[in-house]
Structure formats: C-alpha cells, structure tokens
A and B are shown apart, each in its own frame.
Chain A
Amino acid sequence: MGIPVLPSQRIDRPSDLKGLKIPYPVVLKSQVRAGGRGKAGGIEFVTTTIDAVAAAHRIFNLSIMGEYPQVLLAEAKYNALQELYLAVVLDRAERRAVLLGSSQGGTSTESAMEKMQRVVVDEDFSPFYARRLTQKMGLRSKVVISVSDIIERMYRLFVEQDLDLVEINPLGINPSGEVMALDGKVTVNDEAIARHPDLLQLAEKIPTVEGSGAGNDGAAIATATRNEPVSSISSCLGGSLGAPHFSKLDGNIGIICNGAALTMATLDLVYLCGGKPACFANIGGDTRWDLTPDDFVLRLTQALNLTIADASVKAVAIDIIGSAIDCNAVAAAIAACVQQSGRSLDRSIAPASSVTKPLNGWDSHHNGFLNGFGEISEGPALNFDLRQAESDSASLFSESSQPQRHGGISLIVRLCGTDLEPAKKSLAPLNIPVVDSLEEAIARAVAYANKI
C-alpha cells in the first residue's frame, strides 16, 4: 500500500540480536495480538547489543493480556518530532467507515483519546475527507499533504481487504516533515476474509494462542488480529461449514442450541435456575444460506460428540426449534451419538414431578406449572453401558440415591419442528425425554446436575 515503514528484523530468540543488521539505536517490540504493549513494557529502546539481549530476554518472558510473544521485532529508532494517532474503523451506529485521528499519538492512550477527532465518510470516499481530518487534528501546511496521503492509503487498504480496523499509532513526523508509520494494527473482518485467499493463508499460519504476524516484508509492523480460531475462519470458505461454535466453561451442564441468541438465552436460564454450564454450542440458526438439513444434523452430531466427550458434563440439554427441523433425523442423530459415545446413560433426567426444591428466582407461578406436569412416566430405571452392549439388571433407583457413576450422563431434549411424535418415541427407550418447553428442559437438567 506504499505506507512507509521502518527497516526491521525478526527476532526469534535473544541471541538473534547478535546478528542484527540494523544500526542502533533500535526499538524492540513484542509481537503479541494486544494493544497497549508499550504501557505493558513490551516495547523498549536499546542502544547496545548487551542492552538489547537483556531487553529481549525480559520481553520474551513478559505476558501481555495473557499472551507471550513467539517473536520480537527489532526496528530502527525513528527521530520523531511529533507522533500522531490515525485509524480507519467501521462504525456500526453510523453504518459508515469513520476516520479517527489525534495529534497526540504514542503509548499514552488517554492523551490520544483527549484530542481524538472524527470524520464520518458519508458518501463515496474522496481525499477531501482525509484533509478534513487533518484540519480537525490541528495540522497545518506541508504536513497536511503527507498525513492526508497516509490516511487515503489506509482507507484504500481498509476497503480493498475488507477490514474492520486499520490503525497507525504512532505515525511519526520527523524534523523535515516526512512521515513514517512506527507501529500499527489491522483487524480483518471475519465475515469477509473468505474472499481474500491471501489473508486467509496468512491467518491460517498464525497459531491460535500465540500471536505473530511478523514477516520480513513491509507489512511486518501490522500484526493481523483475529477474533476466532483458524478452524472457524476456514469455515467461511464457500460451502464448507466447519465446526459449530463451541465454548467451554467450568460447570457440569452441556447446552446445545440452534441460534446464537437462543443459546445465550438458554445459558442465562441455566444460571437463573441455579445451574452451572460446562460448555455451550451454537449449531447455527436459520440464516445460514447453505445449511442443508443433512449438514444441520452433522453439526448437531459434532457438537454433541464434543459435549459428551467432556468428562465434566453430567447433564446435556439440547434445544432445537425451527420451521424446517426434521425432528426424526435429529432424534436419530442424538441416539447414535449417545450409543457410540462410550459413556453410560444414567437414569432419566429428573422427571418433572420431582423438581420440588425451590430454585433461584423461581416464583410460585412456575413451581405450580412444574409440579402439575405429570405426564412423563417414570418407566423402569435401566443403566446402559452401551460400549459393552450389555445392560445391568433393571433396578429402581430413588431420587435420593442417584448412582454416582463415573462418566454417567443424562440428556433432555426440547424440539419443535416436523415429525415430533416419532422423535419422542425413538428417544424414549434411551430415557431421553423430549419436551415442548425450554424452561422445563433447563429446570430438569439443572435439578439433575445439582444432585450429582
């Protein structure tokens, strides 16, 4: 993009500094995907090799926002008279790109914020928007041209690469009025990355936990930041669905829903009922253009396998609603997962009538509703150890002496779609109740999990 950057060199270990090709003074920068590195001590100026090696040792062992650098960047120190902050960012409320600039760039974010100026790109971009920003920032004469030029290039990069953010902080201006990008950050939009194969490739090279975008080309100072692990990004490739969104927490109830907001609402319900989720998965709502019914069932299977494989999960609540849900196929997939999982399916998740203990935030209206629900029959209590394909002798367990089977798990399903009755019938032998109400499913799952 033609934005001037300093000569730099990649440092993989402190001893690399012995072969440094850039003359001192030099600045060492931690390559982590976090802002505020300077303040955190991740950026240091050094004048000799000994100081550089010592600084490198320190920075390699410095975790910033939970991340240790795999690589440092050594850059020539720039004699900046003034440091500016510049950014192009997508503003959701305005639904436009917005240019941001502050005459006080650099490590102190508070002073940058104090003087932050803003120009909304209302219509098609034209260089005058950039000039407008420089005026608001208080820049005058020659510097207006050179800084506007940088802003224009940043904007072009922003649009061409479908970015959420391009930030240069600081943009250094030296005594002769020349500009130099001293540090920067670029955020690629997750939705759009699939139409940029080069970015996708770059992203896939970055390990998920440690960050490092440092290469030896001019883009070195821009550290690519992602908000998702790579596997979900490649799921954006046309047609390929990838894994469902799956997140781990530290409780004992697994949640699987279709749709992000429904998943969040279900999670909230679990806490409200006094339960603790172990993990939750969103297998995708109704707005994925390429989600065939078969793919949907596949994602359910993946999510359920992940959930069951988590030893901390004792109860699983599955909530799937929609207009085109084939309940039979869903039930079959659930049954198959459970049977192939190798975990024993415990006695049926607490029947509704046994849920009498008062739950957090539960008012009498709801207690009444639950206690009145007596349709689910107890049935014989069977413990399945399906891996060995044999069943224990049928014995009745009372609620107070729940077997504490290692690895035992219990499921409850809430379904709304077509062919509901056959689905209920196919899951009944596995003691997996299928209910109509989300709250009932969650209340029962929590009651069961809390007894373990």
Chain B
Amino acid sequence: MNLKPDSKVLVQGITEPLGSIHAARMKAGGTNVVAGVSPGHGSEKLHDIPVFDLIEQALSAVGQVDVSVIFSAPFEACDCAFEAIAAGIRQIIIITEGVPPLDMVRLVRKAEATETLIVGPGTPGIIIPGKLLLGTHPADFYTKGPVGLLGRSGTLTYEIALELTNAGLGQSIALGIGGDAIVGSSFPQWLQILDEDDHTEVIVLVGEIGGFSEEAAAKYISEAIDKPVIAYVAGRHAPKGKRLGHAGNLIAAQISAGNPDKVSPSGADPETAQSKISAFKQAKIPVADRPSQIPELVKKALKHGVKKK
C-alpha cells in the first residue's frame, strides 16, 4: 500500500449520487482529488473537480494518479477497474456494492497479474485520520492514534471507530475489505500491512457472518502477526438462511452434496458467528461480546505490549 496525504486521487463515477456526495467530502477534508471520470460528462466540473469521459484524458490533464475510488453502478464497476489498471493505476477502491461475483473473478485475476491492490467492492474505503479519506467514512468519528481498524462493512466500522475515539483510542488507519462475497483483498493481506505499519500498535478486527474471512484471519494471526489483535463478530443472533444485505453474509449450503472442504475445525456450523468466534478464541485472540467492550480490551492489549504467542 502506498498512500500519503498528497496522493493524487481519481474518482470514477463522480457524477453518480454516491460519488458526488463523497467526492465533495473527500476534497473538503483535504484529500487531493485531482479529477473525476464519468462517461458522458466529460468537460464538466463538479465541486471544482474536472470531469472526463476517459481516464486517459484525465491523466493527460493531471498526470499519473496514485489511486482510483470507484462509485460507478454495479455492472460498470468492473469495467471501470479494468480501465484504471490499463491506465497504470495500481491501487483501486470499489465503494459500490453488488458487483457480480463473476466480474470480480475476472478482475481479481487481472489484479494478481499486474500486482494491483484492490479494496472492495461494497467497502466504505480507507481513512487515514487527519491525512486521507478515500471513501465514505464520517471523518468526525475518527482521530489519529495507535489502532488499526479492519472490518468488512461500512456503518459497523464507523460504530467501532466511534467507540474507540470516545475512549481516547485513535486510529492509524481504518478500512473495510467489503461486504460482497468476492473481494479484492483479504484480511490476511491487510493484517500483514498493519503489522508492518509503524503507526499501528494494536489491531481491531471486526467480522460478521458469512464466508471464511475471519477463520482465515485467525489462522494467519496465529502464524504470522506479532501485534496484538482484538476481534468482534456481528451476527451471533442472525437468523440463518436470510439475506441481510451483504452478498457476503449468505450462509449458503449450496451444493446438494455438501461442501467438501468447508467443515469448520471448531465443529461449529461453518460461516456462523459461533464458528468465527471459536476460531479467534482458538488462536488466543480476545473477542469482545459487544462494541463497547472493545476499548477496554484494546487498552489491556496496549498495556501488555507485544502479544505473547
């Protein structure tokens, strides 16, 4: 990850409802939004940001950019990302939720081949308090500090940030990897980045039902992460089989013959909150039972320094 306060930011889908609102906020907060791209709106200006039809036109005007934040419609988001990669942009954040998974499969392959960092889809983006806002986070909820905040979704991540900020525990960086089923970067990837980040002393991981990200994170933490991690998992009481709003939440027993590889080692039903909490406990990671308990666990972890293995 290579993000600095003066990183040049492109906003794709800037004329969409979400794009417009948040591009303005990002710029107002000091983020260096240099251009926007929305096909059909070239030569317009929005919130004093020049808008272009194509990324190559934008780059002719403003030079190479460091990161693109995509607010385009779900069926266009993948194409926007491909265009960004083709233009040499190596960090992409897809805010939009509901991108078809098969589009993401193609995008992920291209990202791996070009070493492009992709965050999302369905993410609130990345915020480095006081420095950079790439997405929808409410800047007021965040403040500078030692906690690296890593989650999947938007509003719950804001809630946890607020708890931390109110308790005097600021954040070095906060992001969501996205609520969709197939996402560009994983918990282990970001755990590694936070482990190597000089400003992060403790990591808070916010998980939710569905998929196996949290189980993978627990395993990675016990094998490769030195800094202390505090976990919280939402959805202990979520009714099974119901769509709750994140494509990634669906606990699907899809295959008639069952899932050959997916029996949870803890014995709990896979993909449930119980299974994730067990995985964290097995890896000796403290698990908060409610958001307001997180600050006290973080304070304990900070007092004890580097976690004992």
Binding site for B on A (CB under 8 A): 35-36, 85, 87, 89-90, 92-93, 95-97, 100, 102, 109, 112-113, 116, 118, 122-124, 158-159, 162, 164-165, 167, 169, 185, 187, 189-192, 194-195, 227-228, 232, 236, 238, 245, 247, 249, 257-265, 267-272, 282, 284-292, 321-324, 361, 365-366, 416-417, 438-439
Contact = CB atoms under 8 A, between A and B. Distances in A.
Given A227-B252, A438-B291, A289 B260 contact: no
Given A247-B242, A289-B16, A321-B162, 15 more contacts: A85-B257, A87-B255, A113-B260, A185-B256, A195-B100, A227-B250, A260-B179, A260-B246, A261-B151, A263-B244, A263-B245, A269-B291, A289-B72, A289-B96, A439-B292
Contact of B243 (A232, A264, A270): A232
Contacts of B104: 95
Contacts, number: 250
A90 B73 contact: no
Contact of A92 (B155, B182, B236, B244): B182
A102 B181 CA distance: 26
B250 A95 contact: no
A292 B18 CA distance: 7
Given A92-B182, A289-B17, A260 B138 contact: no
A226 B244 CA distance: 14
A113 B261 CA distance: 10
A410 to B, nearest CB: 22
A112 B257 CA distance: 7
B235 A268 contact: yes
Contacts of A438: 159, 291
Interface string B6-49: 00000001001111011001000000000000000000000000
B97 A287 contact: yes
A164 B249 contact: no
A267 B18 contact: no
The CB with the most chain A CB atoms within 10 A, among B96, B155, B244, B253, is that of: B155
A322 B138 contact: yes
The CB with the most chain B CB atoms within 10 A, among A36, A164, A190, A260, is that of: A260
A365 B292 CA distance: 11
B90 interface: no
A272 B289 contact: yes
B108 interface: yes
Contacts of A268: 234-237, 290
Given A92-B181, A249-B239, A258 B260 contact: no
A100 B293 CA distance: 43
B99 interface: yes
A429 to B, nearest CB: 28
B74 A191 contact: yes
Interface string B90-111: 0000011111111111001100
B18 A291 contact: yes
Interface size class of B (residues with CB under 8 A): 35 or more
A291 B159 CA distance: 21
Question: What is the interface of chain A mostly: helix, strand, loop, or mixed?
Answer: mixed
27 contacts: A109-B257, A116-B257, A164-B252, A165-B255, A167-B256, A185-B256, A232-B243, A238-B73, A261-B154, A261-B206, A264-B235, A264-B244, A267-B237, A269-B290, A285-B124, A285-B245, A287-B96, A289-B73, A290-B18, A292-B17, A321-B162, A322-B138, A323-B137, A323-B138, A324-B21, A361-B289, A416-B138
A136 B283 CA distance: 35
Contacts of B99: 191
A289 B155 contact: no
Interface string B67-98: 00001111100000000000000000001111
Contacts of A271: 236-237
Interface in B261-299: 261, 289-292, 296
B156 interface: yes
B220 interface: no
A289 B154 contact: no
A162 to B, nearest CB: 5
Given A245-B243, A264-B234, A264-B238, A123 B109 contact: yes
Nearest to A183: B256
Contacts of B291: 265, 269, 438-439
The CB with the most chain A CB atoms within 10 A, among B136, B159, B183, is that of: B159
A264 B209 CA distance: 9
Nearest to A228: B243
Contacts of A189: 100-102
B153 interface: yes
Contact of B155 (A185, A191, A272, A285): A285
Contacts of A90: 101-102, 105, 181-182
Interface string B151-180: 111111111001000000000000000011
Contact of A258 (B155, B182, B208): B155
Contact of B159 (A165, A262, A272): A262
Contacts of B123: 287
A230 to B, nearest CB: 13
A416 B236 CA distance: 25
B174 to A, nearest CB: 13
